[in-house]
Amino acid sequence: MEKKILIVGTQPYNRNIQSRAFESYFHNFKKENLRQIFSSRNIPPRGHCESLYQITDERLIKRRFNKKTNVGKIFNYDDLQDAPVILNTALSKVSNAKGPLQRLIRKLIWKKKYWLTDSLEKWVDEFKPDIIFIAWSNDFFILKIAEYFSKKLSIPIISCIGDDYILNKHFSLSPFYHIYNHKYSKLAGRLLTNKSNGCIYVDDKIKNAYNLHFNINGSTVHIASEKPYKSFEKPATVKKFSYFGNLAYCRYKSLYSAADISKKLNLGFEFDVYSNQPSKKVTRLFARLDNIHFKGTIPYSEIDNRVSLSDVVLIVESLDDKNSIRDVKYSLSTKVADSLSYGKIVLGIGNKETGAMNYLIRNKCALVATSKKELEDILVHLKDDNLELSSIMSRAQKVFNEDFSLNNSCALFEREIDKIVEEKVKRNE
């Protein structure tokens, strides 16, 4: 029998952002068996859930000054549109804050006595979930909400970890950094080591690190692509390179290096960048070259058309920025699955320690440049048509079918859910 799952995560399903990973887990579930508690201030799009419960920073703060303020708002499937409604509020910067001080301030905003309302309790109780799914985040309240309802209903938690928020420690003189890390690690460890709970990861690299650190036995369920694999057709000549994704973590520098090498060696390559509006610093850097073109953001549904006009699809991370490399050491972007599906030449640029490059190298399914010298060699060979691509493209198809099949990921996830719930029932008998 299909289990009922209460999802707790900051963002609801959205095809245009990272939360589209939910498709890899919930594609086969009936919407009546899924509900989500979320904190994004935007109106969610129609997705997998029958009902969603929104709690925002803004309403939680207003609640302190007016006890009549409703901190929660319910959205039902039939009332939603296919696209999200983006709302900017006065607290947008607080909600998007990244630093330890801001995280600790947000922890205070999300005190249990404010978010735990009769309305939320009733909404969860009437649903009667069998298990709680945490879309892992470095915000305390996501874990706290999941822990509360897990204890109250005596049901297990399955954590989905796609980024590292615990092992990524560095030297800091800020007391807030150490306070945050201590409190967060203690809470996270309590959930992950609870024998009733389970854990899934987006890749083996982060799975191996976390399983070892916490002495647990989580499984890998890759974030699948919704796209079918397209057969590789080698282009007559290589001309256009395309990058789809954000420019953070010094990715813009790697893109600039590729365009700069092409320009200096007169290779004639053009680089199209589809991303959010860059900072002035990035804009000024790109303006130095006439072969790198910022194209802005496009809907996920339009990416296929732009890829069809490209000869090479880029997956990019930093080559040499230590902080950026550390921050994405265990990350495996949804771009990897989609990039392998297109039947195009895939070129990864980035340090070998980053999650994406590690995956590509480990699976031998793309060209990978881990230094500017390697990048130059690959670009020159692409221009001269001297690169042997058949074995790499054959591997790309095999890897895509094994790791990024939607059916495979959904089946693996459903087996994990069944196993965790059944083991919890046995413990209670």
Q: Which domain holds residue 57?
A: 5-223+406-428
Q: For residues 221 and 409, is the Cβ–Cβ distance under 8 A?
A: yes
> Per DSSP, what are the bridge partners of residue 316?
349
- Lowest mean pLDDT segment, chosen from 125-129, 137-141, 355-359: 137-141
Q: What does each C-alpha distance from 173 to 101, 177, 216, 359 come to in angstroms?
A: 13, 8, 32, 34
* Residues paired with residue 76 on neighbouring β-strands, in sequence order: 51
Q: Clarify whether residues 149 and 295 are in a common domain.
A: no
Domain assignment of residue 232, yes or no:
no
Same domain, 369 and 341: yes
**Do residues 377 and 424 both lie within one domain?**
no
Find the mean pLDDT for residues 352-366. 96
Instruction: Look at residue 301 and tell me if it is in a domain.
Output: yes
Phi and psi at residue 113, to the nearest 5°: -65, -15
pLDDT at 429 over 70: no
Gap between the Cα atoms of 178 and 143, Å rounded = 19
| pLDDT at 121 exceeding the cut of 80 | yes
Are 17 and 66 in a shared domain?
A: yes
> Token match 């990039």: residue?
339
Inter-helix orientation angle 100-109/140-153, to 10°:
40
Identify the sign of the CA torsion 170, 111, 331, 158.
positive
> Considering just the CA atoms, what is the radius of gyration of the chain in Å?
22
The answer to whether residue 230 sits within a structural domain is no
Q: How many helices (H) and strands (E) does the chain have?
A: 18, 14
- Predicted pLDDT at 95: 52
- Rounded-to-integer distance, Cα 129 and Cα 156, Å: 10
pLDDT at residue 161 is higher than 80: yes
229 in any annotated domain = no
The beta-strand segments (E) located in 105-180 are: 131-135, 157-161
SS3 content of the chain, % helix, strand, coil (to 5): 45, 15, 40
* Structural domains in the chain (count): 2
Cβ distance 311 to 345 under 8 Å? yes
- Which range (22-26, 76-80, 167-171) has the least confidence? 167-171
pLDDT at residue number 288: 96
The string of pLDDT tens digits covering residues 83-106 is 777 776 555 454 555 788 999 999
Cβ of 331: how many Cβ atoms within 10 Å? 20
Are 2 and 33 contacting, i.e. CB atoms less than 8 angstroms apart? yes
Same structural domain for residues 256 and 216?
no
Neighbouring CB atoms inside 10 A of 108's CB total 10
pLDDT digits (tens, 9 = 90+) for 283-310: 999 999 999 999 998 988 899 999 999 9
Same domain membership, residue 244 and residue 206: no
89: amino acid identity, one letter: T
Burial class of residue 205 in the structure, from the number of CB atoms within 10 Å of its CB (0-12 exposed, 13-18 middle, 19+ buried): buried
Are the C-beta atoms of 158 and 146 separated by less than 8 Å?
A: no
For 200-252, write each residue's pLDDT tens digit.
Answer: 999 999 999 999 999 999 999 999 988 888 988 888 899 999 999 999 999 99
Burial class (CB in 10 A: 0-12, 13-18, 19+), 16: middle
Note whether residue 391 is domain-resident.
yes
> Does 138 share its domain with 10?
yes
From CA 281, how far away is CA 347, in angstroms rounded?
25
Q: Is pLDDT of 29 > 70? A: yes
Do 178 and 301 fall into the same domain? no
Average pLDDT of the chain to the nearest whole number: 92
pLDDT tens for each residue of 383-419? 987 677 888 989 999 999 999 999 999 999 999 999 9
The pLDDT value given to residue 254: 98
231 in a structural domain = no
**What pLDDT score was predicted for residue 251?**
97
**What CATH number has the domain bearing residue 165?**
3.40.50.11930
| Residue 327 included in any domain | yes
Chain-centroid distance, C-alpha 403? 16
Is the same domain home to 215 and 112? yes
- On whether both 179 and 249 belong to a single domain, the answer is no
Domain match, 410 and 382 both: no
* DSSP 8-state assignment for residue 8: E
Mean pLDDT of 274-290: 92
> The tokens 């935007």 sit on which residue?
42
17 membership: H or E segment, kind and range = none
- What does the pLDDT read at residue 86? 76
Residues 195 and 268 in one domain: no
CA–CA separation, 198 vs 160, rounded Å? Answer: 9
CA–CA separation, 319 and 421 (whole Å): 43
Degrees to nearest 5, angle at CA 161 with 156 and 165: 115
We report the CATH number of the domain holding residue 381 as: 3.40.50.2000
pLDDT, position 172? 84
The per-residue pLDDT for 97 is 57
> Which amino acid is it at 384?
D
Could you tell me if residue 328 is inside a domain? yes
Tokens 């369920």 appear where?
A: 221
- What is the dihedral angle through the alpha carbons of 235, 237, 238, 242, rounded to the nearest 10 degrees? -50
What's the distance, CA 259 to chain centroid?
A: 27
Q: Is the pTM of this model over 0.85?
A: yes
CB atoms within 10 A of CB 220: 17
